[in-house]
Amino acid sequence: MNVAVETRSAPRALRQPSVLPGFGLTFGFTTFFLSAVVLVPLAALVLMSLRLSWSEFWEVILDPRAIGSYRLSFGASLLAASINLVFGFIIAWTLVRYEFPGKRIIDALIDMPFALPTAVSGIALTTVFAQNGWIGQYLEPFGIKVAYTWIGVTVALTLIGMPFMVRTVQPALAEVQKDLEDAAETLGAGRFHIFRRIILPTVLPAMLTGFALAFARAVGEYGSVIFISGNLPMKTEITPLLIVIKLEEFDYRGAAALGTVMLFISFIMLLAINLLQAWGRRRHTRTGR
């Protein structure tokens, strides 16, 4: 309903003088930029993979090694994004709601995974979680191996995605007024009830966005994972690595075919999350403001 109204009024908005001059110019630039940087390369990728015959294409993408890598890539990414959904929320909550010494430092630390070259985080994680590493040596007696297993991959992807979650949820949480909780409390609601009925509905859209961002980042991650995963075919090999291997063998078409599959699955998943979000928005603010 909202969307319909906007489209109808769009031509008028175009004609109206705007605060920022040169709407035509900027819009043209946006289209051009998107095409040059995003759409054309993606189309080239798909075209490249189409040089394979259908049977070759299917053979490449349904190869057991490839399927194993999809499972790890998307499985670990989903798991990492889910972990971030919970813990990223808790971190954001802590940063928004409490005052404590060193808060600014922790707030700045959140962004570190953004800035660090991913290979560095990979090496650092491997050092810590290896069998003789700081943390790894204590997990070893329990039979938990982190480095060179799918757990290690998940740990790396969680680290990479965490800032996306925290940074999207933080502003949404800051919007939840303390008054709302106070009101709910005087009306007899317990803590869990307040969280479920008042806080969660308000920040859920932001959490979904954060989830989508963290997931997308994790699917595309390469640098940090290859160090900690050990890269055993079928077991700890992620799809991006498989693509690099194909490239090193000069099998450009095979690499493009795998790339197309990743593109397709990622698109479907992000679309699903977006639809979920839109549905949630409609449900909560029915006709919108």
Instruction: By CB under 8 A, name the binding residues for another protein.
Output: 177, 179-180, 182-190, 193, 197-198, 201-202, 284-287, 289
Supply the minimum distance, in Å, between the C-beta of residue 282 and another protein.
12
Q: What is the DSSP-derived secondary structure letter of residue 190?
A: -
Q: Which amino acid is present at 154?
A: T
From CA 278, how far away is CA 2, in angstroms rounded? 11
Q: What is the dihedral of CA 20, 167, 75, 242, to 10 degrees?
A: 60
Other Cβ atoms closer than 10 A to 68: 19
Supply the minimum distance, in Å, between the C-beta of residue 2 and another protein.
13
- Count Cβ neighbours within 10 Å for each residue of 75-111 and write b for 16 or more, e otherwise: ebbbbbbebbbeebbebbbebeeeeeeeeeeeeeebe
Supply the minimum distance, in Å, between the C-beta of residue 194 and another protein.
9
Supply the minimum distance, in Å, between the C-beta of residue 164 and another protein.
24
Other Cβ atoms closer than 10 A to 121: 21
Q: Which amino acid is present at 202?
A: T
Closest CB to another protein among 53 and 287?
Answer: 287
Supply the minimum distance, in Å, between the C-beta of residue 173 and another protein.
15
Closest CB to another protein among 127 and 202?
Answer: 202
Closest CB to another protein among 189 and 276?
Answer: 189
Closest CB to another protein among 189 and 263?
Answer: 189
Which CA distances in Å does 255 have to 46, 90, 96, 244, 247?
11, 39, 44, 7, 6
Supply the minimum distance, in Å, between the C-beta of residue 123 and another protein.
45
Closest CB to another protein among 21 and 188?
Answer: 188
Closest CB to another protein among 198 and 270?
Answer: 198
Q: What is the DSSP-derived secondary structure letter of residue 16?
A: S
